[in-house]
Amino acid sequence: MKVESRESLQRKYNLYRLAMFSFITVIAWIGFEIYRSYNKPKPTKVIQQQIEAVNPNLDLDIIGELQNRTHLSLSDLSQLEANLVFAPKPSSAPTPRPTASPTASASATPTPSPSPTASPSGTPAS
């Protein structure tokens, strides 16, 4: 029986490790690519309106309208903000109705609490 040298065994062990790491890397790579292909966003459909060419000529009337618009200063904006009223959105839930709650009666009579009495030494007596 032939006995292999230590160098030969070390070389085989290193090749085995390299093969295993390469195999694991390839399997992980394939798995990640499959996962990415399933989670990649689908391409959107292009509408004909998006493909149409844009008119390169500027409409000077529209530019004049933009210049004639009202410009608000910061004080005007703060006044406008103060005047805004945000109404709550109407809900489909019914409005709660108040119910009668029990009232307290004045039939209980108060009992006087004992008042502290002073002793000759100046400390209250119990």
Indicate the domain borders of the chain: 1-41
Spatial separation of the C-alpha atoms in residues 19 and 27, rounded to whole Å: 12
Question: Is the pLDDT assigned to residue 31 strictly greater than 80?
Answer: yes
How many Cα atoms sit within 13 Å of 113 on the Cβ side?
2
Angle 28-34-39 from CA coordinates, rounded to 5°: 125
Q: What is the pTM of this model?
A: 0.33
Between these two residues, 42 and 24, which has the higher pLDDT value?
A: 24
Average pLDDT, the chain: 78
Lowest mean pLDDT among 34-43, 75-84, 88-97, 99-108: 99-108
pLDDT of residue 103: 64
- Total H helices, total E strands in the chain: 4, 2
